[in-house]
Amino acid sequence: MDTEQPTAEIPTEPVILPRAEHTISRKQIDENSLKVLYRLRRHGYKAYLVGGGVRDLLLGRTPKDFDVGTDATPNQVKKLFRNCFLVGRRFRLAHIRFAGGSLIEVATFRRQATEEDRPEDPSLNPFYAENLFGTPRQDAFRRDFTINALFYDIEDFSIIDHVGGLRDLRDQRLRVIGDPLVRFAEDPVRMLRALEFVARLGFSLDETAREAIYLRSALIAEAAPARLREELMELFRHKVAGHVFANAQGLGLLEYIIPGYQAGPGTLALLDAIDRRTAAGQPVTESLVLAALYYEIFSAGLVAAGDLPIGEVLGRAAKLLIPHCLHFHIASGIRHQAAELLVGCYRLQRGPGRRGQQRFVRHPSFAAALAFYQLCCEAGQGDVELLSAWRQSLTETPKEAPRKRPRRRRRRRKPASSPSQS
């Protein structure tokens, strides 16, 4: 369907919510964003706060960042701000930098390309469709989800809704703008982002979007691995990885995000435990994520193999992780840290009192392995009594006294011979 044709879900005219009928105040908006908005307005351009910032403010949440939409072109924005840098070859954006590391992203309103816009030789301008400037309404219809297409007008402090986003916020529903089958084919990563927003906001997923994810899931394998890697880490930073992985697997999406991967129930429980840990204020690292994704598979393989030398266990861990790391271009250092977590859990699972325990306890990776094993226990993937025994053994393990450096003996200098002796 044409995404600019109104339907029963999309109003034919924009819904404008005046200042008296919404809760957004300028006091809630970043000071540097206001500077950008006001300067654009003073020079005769339209300037709106756009996207997730407006959504979060209406939901009573603190936005991660604030983005600005305008009818000024990127070059016109650059002329207004000395601290502006144009970025992006495919999609030109203006980045305005302020003291303290603050960055405000300014995007010019775009529109969908038509057949008339297509150049005779697209190879000479492969990104022509990404930089066709348009009206605010045309720009709203290019966005992904209705709740992300709301505008806050700095001129009269109203909320402008072209696509029914206000109604969907009220109904706590995530809905794609236009035909989900078409929009997911345009950018398959939108399928993963849809599941992320549902988990983060506690919304329901529109049934047409759910069906489209099921039908279009294989397309996400065409997305750049680097982009998918970052999107996956965002799930952990937002504390929704367990929820999203479960939904992605249920819809047949996960096996295309991570080629051939299936998350067992123990893995999903472990991801939930990591989300709870992150929500409690503990930072999440990629090595921890990597170890968690493969711990259940790793443990099952070792149970079948029986007691093995540590060197062979480390080799098995590395071999298990290598295909994932090669696909997502993950550095060998991160892979090694994840392998150490897996091997550390294997040693913990064998219990204290074994040969080499003191050396293991003093190893730099021990504390991280013990913390990871605690997460495994919370997820039902470890032995709580063993965890307690290891903690008890720490109080009983004598600390190795620091070695004293041997005192260096100074050599006596030979007395200089006197002139009379020469």
Positions annotated as catalytic residues are 65, 67, 144
- Residue ranges in 202-331 assigned as alpha helix (H): 207-216, 225-237, 241-250, 254-257, 265-279, 286-305, 310-328
Spatial contact of 192 and 224, defined as CB atoms under 8 Å apart? no
List phi, psi (to 5°) of 174.
Answer: -100, 120
Q: What angle do CA 189, 134, 20 make, to 5 degrees?
A: 85
Amino acid at 272: D
- Our measurement of the distance from residue 285's CA atom to the centroid of its chain's CA atoms, rounded to an integer in Å, reads 12
Other Cβ atoms less than 10 A from the Cβ of 277: the count is 18
Residue-level length of the chain: 422
Spatial contact of 72 and 52, defined as CB atoms under 8 Å apart? no
Strand partners, 15: 161
Strand partners, 106: 68, 94
Q: What angle do CA 215, 297, 252 make, to 5 degrees?
A: 5
Which is nearest to 248 in space by CA: 301, 312, 198?
198
Q: How far is it, in rounded angstroms, from Cα 79 to Cα 44?
A: 14
List phi, psi (to 5°) of 133.
Answer: -75, 150
Q: Please, what sign has the CA dihedral across residues 331, 332, 334, 338?
A: positive
